[in-house]
């Protein structure tokens, strides 16, 4: 059965692009830039809800929970992308943040949009992922109506998991009863109905903020440095050494040796340098403070022990 969606904000025709096919290339590019700027503004109006999402997810993870993004098409791909980028950036367990997309892994590279209409498949995906009442399920659907996403969120509610709903349409058009809603109203797309554009940009902006914000709260960041970066290739190894050099003022050779002595763990290397503790003692101190480097250093200061910083 076809669901009438013509009333949705994401399906409207944008009067600013009514002559899109007659614009000069430079005019087209300028129009995209103007509309993208509006998208940033729309996301900004959701700051309060984004803040709530970060707090909710952080609390869940501190209690052993996980985050599951669920979506179809562009929304699903962006969720999978954000989940996949967390392990190398923050050295997280790949199971901590997971992306679920209608159609599974093949849908990442080949369109399978028809599968988003199966609400029961969304529920099945949540069950197969062994979601528990400690977890958070984050449903992403630009137009707000995707049955697969609602099936997943409803199943999560039955299990007792926290639920977050992301859409680019107002609640008057698609009302829900989930724990938290994030609704950046980006307006009609330049190409009518193509939510991979402004809606997709808004999705990426929100997910960037949420996943990074959560990792900051979990102690994965010191200042603005990714001190839990996973040193898995040459680029990340170079970044790890530069982080140590910048924060400790050590020469490259000394920073490289310190990183090696820490088992390629930047955070541990920094704590070793600043406290004079060996790797075992530094690791124990970090674990005592749930991996928060700044808190561990503050503990050393408060106990009167020397910090070599």
State the catalytic residues. 85, 116
For tokens 């040193």, what's the residue?
Answer: 231
Nearest to 146 by CA among 111, 127, 121: 121
State the Cα–Cα distance between residues 201 and 165, nearest whole angstrom: 17
Judge contact between 112 and 146, C-beta under 8 A.
no
Name residue, tokens 């197969």.
128
Three-state DSSP class for residue 299: helix
- Backbone angles phi and psi of 228, in degrees to 5: -110, 20
In angstroms, rounded to a whole number, what is the distance separating the alpha carbons of residues 69 and 76? 8
Q: Is 171 helix (H, G, I), strand (E, B) or coil?
A: coil
CA distance 148 to 97: 19
End-to-end C-alpha distance for the chain, whole angstroms: 66
297/302 Cα distance (integer angstroms): 9
The residue written with tokens 């990183």 in the block is 259
Strand, coil or helix: 136: strand
Q: What is the C-alpha to C-alpha distance for residues 206 and 40, in angstroms, rounded to an integer?
A: 10
Q: Burial of 182 by CB count in 10 Å (0-12 exposed, 13-18 middle, 19+ buried)?
A: buried
CA dist 20 and 28 (Å) reads 7
Spatial neighbors of 212 by CB under 8 A, at least 6 apart, are: 221
């Amino acid at each position: 059965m076809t669901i009438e969606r013509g009333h949705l904000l994401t399906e409207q025709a944008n009067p600013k692009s009514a002559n899109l096919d007659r614009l000069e290339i430079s005019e087209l590019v300028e129009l995209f830039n103007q509309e993208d700027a509006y998208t940033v503004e729309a996301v900004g109006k959701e700051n309060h809800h984004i803040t709530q999402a970060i707090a909710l997810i952080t609390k869940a993870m501190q209690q052993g929970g996980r985050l599951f993004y669920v979506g179809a098409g562009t929304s699903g791909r962006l969720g999978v992308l954000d989940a996949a980028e967390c392990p190398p950036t923050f050295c997280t367990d790949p199971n901590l943040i997971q992306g679920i997309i209608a159609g599974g892994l093949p849908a990442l590279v080949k369109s399978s949009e028809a599968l988003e209409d199966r609400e029961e498949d969304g529920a099945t995906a949540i069950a197969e992922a062994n979601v528990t009442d400690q977890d958070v399920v984050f449903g992403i659907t630009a137009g707000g109506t995707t049955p697969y996403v609602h099936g997943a969120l409803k199943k999560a509610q039955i299990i007792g998991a926290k639920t977050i709903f992301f859409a680019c349409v107002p609640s008057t058009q698609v009302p829900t009863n989930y724990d938290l809603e994030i609704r950046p109203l980006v307006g009609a797309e330049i190409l009518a109905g193509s939510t991979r554009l402004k809606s997709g940009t808004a999705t990426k902006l929100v997910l960037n903020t949420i996943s990074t914000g959560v990792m900051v709260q979990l102690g994965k960041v010191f200042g603005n440095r990714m001190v839990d970066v996973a040193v898995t290739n040459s680029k990340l190894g170079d970044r790890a050494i530069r982080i140590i050099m910048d924060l400790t003022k050590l020469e490259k050779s000394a920073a490289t040796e310190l990183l090696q002595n820490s088992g390629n763990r930047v955070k541990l290397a920094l704590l070793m340098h600043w406290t004079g503790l060996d790797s075992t003692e530094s690791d124990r101190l970090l674990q005592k403070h749930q991996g928060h480097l700044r808190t561990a250093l503050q503990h050393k200061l408060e106990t009167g022990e020397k910090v070599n910083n």
